[in-house]
Chains A and B, each alone.
Chain A
Amino acid sequence: MTAVPDTSIAPAAADRDPRRPRRPRLRNGYGRPVLELVMVALTVVYLFPLYILVVTSFKRPVDVAGNPVAPPPDLYLGNYETAWFGADLGRAMVNSVVITSLSILGAVVIGAMAAYAIVRGSRRWSTPTLMLFLLGLMIPAQLGMVPLYMLMRDLGLLQTYWSVIIVNTGALMPMTVFLYAGFLRTQSPAYEEAARIDGATWWQTFWRVVFPLLRPVTGTVVIINAINVWNDFLTPLLYLSGSSSRTLPVAVFSFRGEYASEWGIIFAGLVIAALPVLIVYFFLQRHIIQGFGGGLKG
């Protein structure tokens, strides 16, 4: 069984370590093929919605009206043309990229610094401050939604990138500080102490010595936060809908109103909106699954 190329998450290293003799397998002979069959069947059923998504996006209206499960008679690309040009999805994609990257950049920079001050700073403040940040994991955004909306309106930031970027950065603080602080606790302070003794300022010590050592957890922080921000709907709906700065989920949603039940066009739009993340996913799947799976353990 170990002959199967094991490329995905945390390959059972012990199984492949050549120095170790292979463990005798004690499983009963027929258990595994049955499980394999069940799992293959389950996977096929599980993928059915995605099959529908792709297949429908290539259908002409007349074919959509026909058998909904049948594959399209030919590779009709008209839906993609209409979706791309009709809804200005390119613009929305650029908006999503700008908003996601700036939000994540902000969260990483200030979140890592805060976690550093919490873990390595004055002990008197560290626990209460961490608790204050963790409180944010619990409070639903809805509670502050109206005051925050009025605040952004008074600051004149509605319909601008900045409103969403500031809101995202603040909303990401609890998770970011939580992940960085958890990781920093396990790190020895030896390197930064050495840097301090050599006369580095705090700023230099943090950015040149500490931050590079945080790379593994920065990866997790970026992955988890980026997917949340990219897919977020309610925040950009409140702050950007109707403007040209709207993100992909908002654009795709307004699409539904525009094309009512022309599912071929709607689904072409959905596929375009899904492609960027899916491409990233298939390149980084190991890190992404591990980041979500293992990274959340504080």
Chain B
Amino acid sequence: MTAVLSRGRSDAPVRSVPGRPAPRRRPTVAPTWFLLPALVVYALVVLYPSLAGSVLAFTDRSGFDPGEWVGLANFEKLLRDDAARAALTNTVAVAVVITVVQTTLGLLLALALNSAIRARNLMRTLFFAPMMLSPIIVGLLWQYIYTPGGPLDSTLEGLGLGFLTRSWLGSDGALWAIVASIIWHHVGIVMAIYLAGLQSIPPELTEAAQVDGAGAVRRFWYVTRPLLGQSTTIVIALTLTASFKLFDQMFVMTGGGPGVSTQTLSLVMYQQAFVYGEYGYGTAIALVLTMIVAAVVFVQLSITRRGEHQV
């Protein structure tokens, strides 16, 4: 190692630019062209389309009409459009609720399955299993579970809770019925991240607290919880960004209905752009979504920077 370093240095050109220190070469500087293939594909698929989309959002392009610059007209239209307005509030509400509920449930699961109980490994496997399934599969499955007189209703009746039955996907609560199915689907990833975090905590710490007489709740709050900070950051970042972009579940289960009650920004965007051919307007909706996600990421990064030191 040291031999390599000194060799590298002695090889470095002695020629120096006047006024600057002699360039110090690292022994191995990987070639920049290794970046090229990734950059080309990334630019083609993400960078260029996103930039083009940011311009498109200010035009009225549609179908085969090239359209022209319309300034903020698309955003004014959005404020008058019931479906888009509903989508905006739904998207934010759903993201907040899913993040809070899913994080809490996932943490509780991880705590329970990190303790020395029987069959905990089997349970971990089972709670994570739905994560393997496509949202389309889960969406169709829950659509049937929620059908009137279907599995959920008949279970409730069997339990003597018949008064709770309703048209789950056909009434006001449809959005929250879908949210419940999404949490069922994704709670396993939260559990897995917290389990990984819990397993990196040395057991000596909690045991010391236990010897000192701290009960389970205080042990969690004062010892475990602060050490899970990084896991929580990852969980919240993942859950929030995923929840803002929800599409598949609503598309499959309700198509945004009844009325506009289960619309999300991604769904309205898809309908406007690819069903009605309103390219400009659809992309304007996507730009609003991008702004929301960017704002949330910015806020989260600044909180994280203050709370813990990481890359």
- Which residues of A are at the interface with B, using a C-beta cutoff of 8 A? 1-2, 4-10, 12, 14, 23, 25-26, 31-32, 35-36, 38-40, 43, 46-50, 52-53, 56, 67-69, 106, 109-111, 113-114, 116-123, 125, 129, 132-133, 136-149, 151, 166-167, 169-171, 173-174, 177, 182, 188-190, 192-194, 196-197, 202, 206, 227, 230-234, 238, 248-249, 252-253, 256, 261, 263, 266-267, 270, 273-274, 277-278, 280-282, 285, 288-290, 292-294, 296-298
Contact of A129 among B35, B128, B265 (CB under 8 A): B35
Bound Cα distance from A230 to B283, whole angstroms: 26
| CB atoms of A297 and B34 under 8 A apart | no
Check: B12 CB closer than 8 A to any chain A CB: no
Q: Is the CB of A12 within 8 A of B41?
A: no
Complex Cα spacing A135 to B78, Å? 26
Among the listed B46, B144, B286, which residue makes an inter-chain contact with A173, where contact means beta carbons less than 8 Å apart? B46
The answer to whether residues A114 and B39 also contact, given A263-B144, A292-B189 and a CB cut-off of 8 A, is yes
- Chain B residues, CB < 8 A from A297: 196, 230-231, 234
- Taken together as a complex, chains A and B put the C-alpha atoms of A297 and B231 apart, in Å, by 8
> Which residues on the B side are within 8 Å of A43 (C-beta)?
123, 126-127
Please judge, given known A-B contacts A167-B45, A293-B192, whether A234 and B270 are in contact too, CB under 8 Å.
yes
* A46 touching B184, Cβ below 8 Å: yes
- In the complex the two chains form, is A256's CB within 8 Å of B34's CB? no
Stretch binding the partner chain, chosen from B14-22, B49-57, B92-100 = B49-57
Number of B residues near A (Cβ < 8 Å) is 110
Q: Which residues on the A side are within 8 Å of B149 (C-beta)?
A: 68
A151 and B34 in contact (CB under 8 A), knowing A173-B41, A233-B248? no
CB distance from A291 to the nearest CB of B (A): 9
| Complex A-B: 12 CB contacts under 8 Å | A38-B112, A56-B144, A119-B30, A121-B32, A121-B35, A140-B245, A143-B283, A143-B290, A171-B46, A230-B134, A249-B135, A288-B128
In the complex, the number of residue pairs spanning A and B with C-beta atoms less than 8 Å apart equals: 323
Evaluate contact between B128 and A285: CB separation under 8 angstroms.
yes
Chain A residues within 8 Å of B144, by CB: 52, 56, 263, 266-267
Q: Is the CB of B141 within 8 A of A193?
A: no
A26 to B33, CA, bound (A): 59
Name the residue on A nearest B129 (C-beta): A281
A238 touching B196, Cβ below 8 Å: no
Contact of B38 among A2, A10, A110 (CB under 8 A): A110
A-contacting residues, B92-142, CB 8 Å? 112-113, 115-137, 140-142
B217 close to chain A: CB less than 8 A: no
Pick the contact of B234 from A9, A39, A270, A296 — CB < 8 Å?
A296
A206 to B196, CA, bound (A): 31
Q: Establish whether residues A113 and B37, one from each chain, have CB atoms under 8 Å apart when the complex forms.
A: yes
| B269/A145 in contact, CB under 8 A | yes
Partner of B140, one of A117, A139, A266: A266
- With A8-B124, A121-B29 as contacts: A281 and B117 at CB distance below 8 Å: no
Nearest 6 CB-CB pairings of A with B:
A170-B45, A144-B49, A8-B121, A293-B192, A114-B38, A147-B52
Task: Assess the B274–A238 pair: CB atoms within 8 A.
Answer: yes
Q: Is B89 positioned at the interface, with any CB of A under 8 Å from its CB?
A: no
Give B residues with C-beta under 8 Å from A: 1, 4, 7, 26-35, 37-39, 41-42, 44-54, 56, 112-113, 115-137, 140-142, 144-145, 147, 149-151, 154-155, 158, 184, 189, 192-196, 199, 203, 207, 210-211, 216, 230-231, 234, 238, 241, 244-245, 247-248, 251-252, 265-266, 269-270, 273-274, 279, 282-283, 285-287, 289-290, 293-294, 297, 310-311
Residues of B within 8 A of A129 (CB): 35, 39
Cα distance A139–B270 in the bound complex, in angstroms: 16
Q: Are B117 and A113 in contact (CB under 8 A)?
A: no
